[in-house]
Amino acid sequence: MNIRFHGHLNKYTNAFKRYQTRYFILDAQTKSLFYFMPDEVRKKGPRGVIELTDCWILPSNEDDVTFTVQTAGSGEAFKLR
């Protein structure tokens, strides 16, 4: 069974130093979090993929809704809310 959750989250982008809305799809089978530009979900492929195997979810000191996904493989950190 392929369980999927989806919806909008705000992703922090270093290029603009602010949050931007992205559409996310969590695929439990592949253990991946795909993200899209909000208007490109059906038109194009994902803007990026966050591999969730061997990762950490870290709460933020900023507020109650912000968290970071820290990946072990690439060492990337994704700040979301």
Domain 4-80 listed as CATH 2.30.29.30: yes
Nearest partner of 19 among 63, 74, 70, judged by Cα: 63
- Structure tokens belonging to residue 15: 């290029």
pLDDT score of 1 more than 60: no
Which pLDDT value is given to residue 44?
80
3-state DSSP call for residue 38?
Answer: helix
In terms of Cβ atoms closer than 10 Å to its own Cβ (0-12, 13-18, 19+), residue 67 is middle
User: What per-residue confidence (pLDDT) applies to 3?
Assistant: 64
Q: Tens digit of pLDDT for each residue in 3-34?
A: 679 999 999 998 888 999 999 999 988 999 99
CA distance 21 to 23: 7
Extents of the domains making up the chain: 4-80
The model's pTM: 0.84
